[in-house]
Structures are given as C-alpha cells and as structure tokens.
Copies of this chain bind each other. A is one copy, B any other.
Amino acid sequence: MTEPPARPTQRDIARRAGVSTATVSYVLNGRRGGAKPPPEETRRRVLRAVAEVGYQVDHAGRSLRRRRTDLVALMYPAPSSPWSDRLVEQLQAGAAERGLGVVALPLGGAASGDAALRVLRERYVDGAVLLPDCGVDPAELARLAGRGLALVVFDDHLAPDGFDVVRQDRARACRAAVEHLVNSGHRRIAYLAHPGEDRWDTGRSVKLRGHRDVLAAHGIAADPGLVLPVADSRPAAYAAVRDLLLRPDPPTAVLSATDRAAIDAVWAARDHGVAVPEGLAVAGIGNIPEGLVITPALTTVGARELDFSREVARLFARLDATAPLPGEVMAAPWELIVRASA
C-alpha cells in the first residue's frame, strides 16, 4: 500500500472507500433537504477510510464553496485586559453552541492594525466584535458591513450603518469622575494618560478630555506637569506617582486612564507613607475586578458588571439572520463607581 498523501482530500477518501466524492461529503456533513443519508454500510466504509488516512476537511475549499468561514473575531487594542478576556470567553461559549471558532485580534503597533483589518476585509471571518478604540475608519466599517460582515462595534459617537454600535458614554462617566474629585475639594489633580493620548484624534481621547474640560469648567488652570503618559505600564505608573509625591507641590488627587495604573498609584502612595484617600485621592477608569482587592477599594468609572452577553447575542443574531439586520444602538453606559480610594 502506498503512503497516504501528506494532506489527503475527499478524492482520496472516495477512491479508498470506492465511492464518489459526493458520497464522502454527504457522510461527513449529512444531507440537506430531507433526503436520506447514505446507508450504514457506505457510511462505515467512508468513515474507516477517513480514520485510516486521518482526513481533515480543508477550510479553504469548504469556505469557498459555502461562502462562510465559521469563524468570528474579537478586535481590541493591546494589551489584553479583563474585558477582552471576558468577551473572548463569552464569544467562545456562544460560538461553541454553533460550531464556530473564535480568534482574538489584539491591535499592537501601527502595522498590526492594518494586518488585523485585513483579516476582516479579506473575509477570514464571518463577523467581529470591536472593543473601544480600535481606530477603524467609520467608512471602512460601513463598507465591511455592506459586504455582509456581521459587526458589533463599541463606540460612543459612531452612527450604526449596517452594523451595531454599543454606546458606553465614556466621556460623561469620565467627566463625572473628575467632577467627583473637584467636588471633594481637589484642585491639583494629576492625570495618568495613555502614552500619546494627547495626540490621538478627539474621539479616542475621551479620558484626557474629561480631565481637561472639567478642570477648565471649574476655572482650574491646566498644569502640563500633572499629565503623565504612564497609564499602560505598571512600573512606569508607580515611579511617576512616587516622583509626583516627592515634589514640593504634590497633587492631592490622581485620575488614571487605567485601573491598573491607578492601583499602582495607590501602592506608590502607601509605600511612601501617604494615606489614600486622605493624602492622595486615587480614581481609575475601567472597573476591573482587581480594583476591589486593594485597600482602599478603588473608586473608578466603568461598566458595573463584566458581562457582554447582550453584545455577544447580538453578533450571533446577525450571523444567524437570513436577511441583513438594520444597525442598532445598544446602551451599556459606564458609571461612576465611588468606593474608598477617592
């Protein structure tokens, strides 16, 4: 007997089992339209051949013919976070029920953004959820949706256009956090920014703008020395807050673009003998579970529950729909969650 080919096809199986490729496909996938499946004996012969050569269906062939990929994606800005982890998990649960796969597309440097977009554009996947700040051009989103890609997009400003938009109202929530600090009497409020956040287009820098606008509204002069691009690195955040506290004119409060960096701010204060919130009030943004662990518990802004079941259900509804669904706005508003740290 000859070696089985490196990647056997249904033709190989058909030859081996003495049937046609149509029969192989019917055995493997069942038959459409209520027709009877192949009889047991044929079935057995085919399945034996499949086992013998270790046949696996080829995605490219199947996908070209079926006009779908049976794959969905989650796109999000790196690094991954409790939200991206949780959303992947919930997507996987829904996908498993439907026999679909899930891939994550973390957006790293500039180059990776384009590569990730290619995955959507060239139809590696049937649908995708885009977490906030993926930075995809709205016209591009509309075009993708127009071509039948199922799309659920987290964005506070975009209008739905063949895709659904999840509104978190982050700007309002972030402003509420700054208001809270100001109303507690703080005037020197530092902000731990995403690196480069001040150069982002305005749609993405909601957090920084919340800080700026609310201070301005209260007639508090902006101090550029209190805006530090350290929110994406825990060691950098810790060091920055420590340095802040050693200044002659330390801030009395810190708002951080990420809960992670806010937590480091709490440590830095505690490690240097500054009480939180008495000596330094600290608020984060994001409401990750970790914020409940530290002492004092972290005041933050974010979704109350780490739950994306509605958004996930909507993606699958789009995938299951026979006719294109109209774009819909879904509200999932962020809230100010006052705990002990500010």
Instruction: Assess A234 versus B143: contact at CB under 8 Å? Given A115-B96, A122-B56.
Output: no
Q: Tell me if B119 and A56 are in contact (CB < 8 A).
A: no
Q: Tell me if A271 and B292 are in contact (CB < 8 A).
A: no
Q: How distant is A309 from chain B, measured CB to nearest CB, in Å? A: 15
- In the complex, which of the residues B59, B105, B289 contacts A103, with contact meaning CB atoms closer than 8 Å? B105
- In the complex, which of the residues B71, B106, B295 contacts A124, with contact meaning CB atoms closer than 8 Å? B71
Q: Inside 8 A of A143's CB, which chain B residues have their CB? A: 54
Q: Tell me if B238 and A293 are in contact (CB < 8 A).
A: yes
CA distance in complex: A293, B230 (Å): 14
Q: Inside 8 A of A64's CB, which chain B residues have their CB? A: 58, 60-61, 64
Q: Tell me if B101 and A104 are in contact (CB < 8 A).
A: no
CA distance in complex: A78, B82 (Å): 11
Q: How distant is A129 from chain B, measured CB to nearest CB, in Å? A: 14
Q: Tell me if B116 and A101 are in contact (CB < 8 A).
A: yes
Asked if A85 is at the interface of the complex by the 8 Å CB criterion, the answer is yes
Cβ contacts A58-85/B at 8 Å (1 or 0 each): 1111111000010101000011101011
Asked if A123 is at the interface of the complex by the 8 Å CB criterion, the answer is yes
Central interface residue in A59, A121, A271, by most chain B CB within 10 Å: A59
Q: Inside 8 A of A294's CB, which chain B residues have their CB? A: 267
Segment at the interface with B among A32-40, A87-95, A169-177, A327-335: A87-95
Chain copies in the assembled complex: 2
CA distance in complex: A143, B281 (Å): 57
Asked if A195 is at the interface of the complex by the 8 Å CB criterion, the answer is no
- In the complex, which of the residues B80, B95, B123 contacts A58, with contact meaning CB atoms closer than 8 Å? B123
Q: Inside 8 A of A271's CB, which chain B residues have their CB? A: 295
- In the complex, which of the residues B60, B96, B112, B290 contacts A234, with contact meaning CB atoms closer than 8 Å? B290
A-B contact pairs, 19 of them (CB 8 A): A6-B148, A7-B147, A58-B123, A60-B60, A60-B63, A71-B119, A71-B124, A78-B88, A79-B80, A85-B106, A89-B112, A92-B109, A92-B112, A96-B115, A102-B112, A103-B119, A104-B106, A234-B290, A238-B293
Asked if A235 is at the interface of the complex by the 8 Å CB criterion, the answer is yes
Q: Tell me if B148 and A119 are in contact (CB < 8 A).
A: no
CA distance in complex: A119, B294 (Å): 39
Q: Inside 8 A of A124's CB, which chain B residues have their CB? A: 59, 69, 71, 101, 124
Q: Inside 8 A of A203's CB, which chain B residues have their CB? A: none
Asked if A264 is at the interface of the complex by the 8 Å CB criterion, the answer is yes
Asked if A146 is at the interface of the complex by the 8 Å CB criterion, the answer is yes
Q: Inside 8 A of A119's CB, which chain B residues have their CB? A: 71, 101, 103
Q: Tell me if A289 and B92 are in contact (CB < 8 A).
A: no
Q: Inside 8 A of A147's CB, which chain B residues have their CB? A: 6-7, 56
Asked if A100 is at the interface of the complex by the 8 Å CB criterion, the answer is yes
Q: Tell me if A109 and B122 are in contact (CB < 8 A).
A: no
CA distance in complex: A37, B78 (Å): 40
Q: Tell me if B121 and A56 are in contact (CB < 8 A).
A: yes
Central interface residue in A71, A84, A108, A238, by most chain B CB within 10 Å: A108
